[in-house]
Amino acid sequence: MNNHFKRTGILFVLSAPSGAGKTTLCSALRQKPDFVYAVSCTTRKPRPGEIDGEDYFFLLAEDFDRRLATGDFLEHAEVHGNHYGTLKSTVNENLEKGVDVLIDIDTKGAGAIRACDSPFICDALADVFIMPPSLDELQHRLRKRGTESEDQVATRLRNAAVEMEGWREYKYTIISSSMEEDIEKFRAVMRAERYLSRRLVIES
């Protein structure tokens, strides 16, 4: 018996309430990528420093609607009045090749993926929720970021409280501590998922 294994691709889904450090965590992971990061589409305006095609594909509402009508999105959701969506093509093409994909989406988007009717996607899925240590800490981080008005901070906190209630729906929950710890924990999840026997196939 010779052990030539290959592996099916994994769809890593990363969610966290705004301010929990999801964007920083993703950027750090993307610096040493052993996966393809699937850039989301959004109709929201770029924040200072955000780059089209790297942070998001920034689409006009009419473009988003057109792609939605064509069935281009694996999932799409409206958050804080803006539309977000993940392109099916990027995800499927990579998973089929046995390449892992990371997507960074909110809890609604993650829920939509979990509920999708593709057994292929369901099997590939490993979803992770980054749980802020507390709402107080989250509030502190949002204020420190200084990109939102007080009203927006209040809205985000209300949404965060709701999102945090959904942690049980995720396969993994990482309680956020330092960014370094969060990265290490997430990387441990990525590694372990790759050793799941059900993801291994014997090469013929």
Query: Rounded to 10 degrees, what is the CA torsion of 125, 126, 132, 133?
Result: 150
Least Cβ distance, residue 130 to its own copies (angstroms): 10
Q: Nearest 5°: CA angle at 143, between 138 and 147?
A: 115
Residues 155-174 that bind its own copies (CB under 8 A): 161, 164-165, 167-174
Q: According to CB under 8 A, which one of 22, 83, 156, 185 is a site residue for its own copies?
A: 185
How remote is the C-alpha of 92 from its chain's centroid?
15
Answer yes or no whether residue 135 interacts with its own copies by CB under 8 A: yes
Choices 14-22, 31-39, 80-88, 192-200; region in contact with its own copies by CB under 8 A: 192-200
**68 or 200, CB closer to its own copies?**
200
- Parallel/antiparallel/unpaired status of strands 57-58 and 101-104: unpaired
Answer yes or no whether residue 144 interacts with its own copies by CB under 8 A: no
N-term to C-term CA, the chain: 12
Answer yes or no whether residue 99 interacts with its own copies by CB under 8 A: no
Q: Which residue has the tokens 């290490």?
A: 184
Q: According to CB under 8 A, which one of 27, 134, 147, 152 is a site residue for its own copies?
A: 134
**61 or 192, CB closer to its own copies?**
192
Answer yes or no whether residue 98 interacts with its own copies by CB under 8 A: no
Q: Are 126 and 112 in contact (CB under 8 A)?
A: no
Which residues fall within 8 angstroms of residue 109, CB to CB, at 6 or more apart? 15, 75, 76, 77, 84, 86, 103
Q: Given the rule CB under 8 A, which residues bind its own copies?
A: 1-3, 5, 128-129, 131-135, 161, 164-165, 167-175, 185, 187-189, 191-193, 195-198, 200
